[in-house]
Amino acid sequence: MDLPTYWSNKLSQYSTEEWSKKPNIFATEILKYLPNTGELLELGAGVCQDSIYFSSLGYKVIASDFIPPIKKHSEFDYQVIDLNNSLPFNDFTFDIVYCHLGMHFFTIQRTKQIFSEIYKVLKPGGIFCATFNSLTDSEVKNSNKIDSDYYQTPSGLIKRFFSPESLKQILPSDFKIILLDSNGVTIKDGSNKLIRLVCQK
Ligand SMILES: C[S@@+](CC[C@H](N)C(=O)[O-])C[C@H]1O[C@@H](n2cnc3c(N)ncnc32)[C@H](O)[C@@H]1O
């Protein structure tokens, strides 16, 4: 599967949908856990609806994805970052690292490394917040299992699904978990039980 083409087509389609013009519900829910100002890195930003939102609130935002942006944005920086490679930032760079449903496409080894790299690039006291699709999702039932928690979905995508328990095992133990539950929802699909994670360095 040609992943850049797959995701470019998907994001072009997303960008025509009304829900993609508003911040994700999770982005609005987590403001209470965030410092009022600071540098925020978004990973797997997609159509950048949440980077637009965070920059409108005054955060200094770098949005990133492994493909070029679907639309140019002047309010924040955008970097092409493939999470298969190490994060291209110095340690202690960000106050916040944010990722909405972008951590699904990696082996267990790389997933652990990504979380460790996120820990490193955060400043002391920095916040990592992310959502994940759950192992209880109906998509899992329609997918072929490749490895533990790792599936090929009907669209051919190789995708990792998570549970609060699996995340506890994968996250660097130095993170202090502030929120970890399965109560997240999306505008796109109100029935989703997304896993919500907020943790602090
Ligand atoms: C389910 S979409 C989520 C997009 C957006 N955060 C949202 O919530 O609508 C997954 C995103 O991960 C990105 N992605 C896929 N593989 C990636 C990789 N290797 N490195 C970085 N981003 C990747 C895709 O391009 C896509 O934007």
Mean pLDDT of 83-92: 98
The closest of 179, 165, 173 to 201, measured between CA atoms, is 173
What does the angle CA 132 – CA 164 – CA 54 come to, to the nearest 5 degrees? 40
Most informative mutation of 5, 8, 17, 66 for ligand 1 (most atoms within 8 A of CB) = 66
The closest of 80, 75, 83, 31 to 49, measured between CA atoms, is 75
Order of strands, edge to edge, in the sheet holding 150-152? 144-147, 150-152, 158-160
Instruction: Using the predicted structure, report yes or no on whether residue 20 has a pLDDT greater than 80.
Output: yes
| Ligand 1 atom 10, closest CA | 102
The closest of 3, 189, 23, 31 to 105, measured between CA atoms, is 3
Question: What share of the chain has pLDDT > 70, as a percent?
Answer: 99
What per-residue confidence (pLDDT) applies to 186?
A: 85
Q: What is the largest CA-CA distance in the chain?
A: 43
Instruction: Using the predicted structure, report yes or no on whether residue 191 has a pLDDT greater than 70.
Output: no
Instruction: Using the predicted structure, report yes or no on whether residue 188 has a pLDDT greater than 90.
Output: no
Ligand 1 binding residues, C-beta < 6 A:
7, 11, 24, 44-46, 65-67, 82-84, 100-102, 105
pLDDT tens digits along 126-178: 999 999 999 999 889 999 999 999 999 999 999 999 999 999 999 999 999 99
Distance from residue 90's CA to the centre of ligand 1 (Å): 22
Return the CATH number of the domain spanning residue range 3-200: 3.40.50.150
Query: Could you state, in order of their start, the residue ranges of all structural domains in the chain?
Result: 3-200
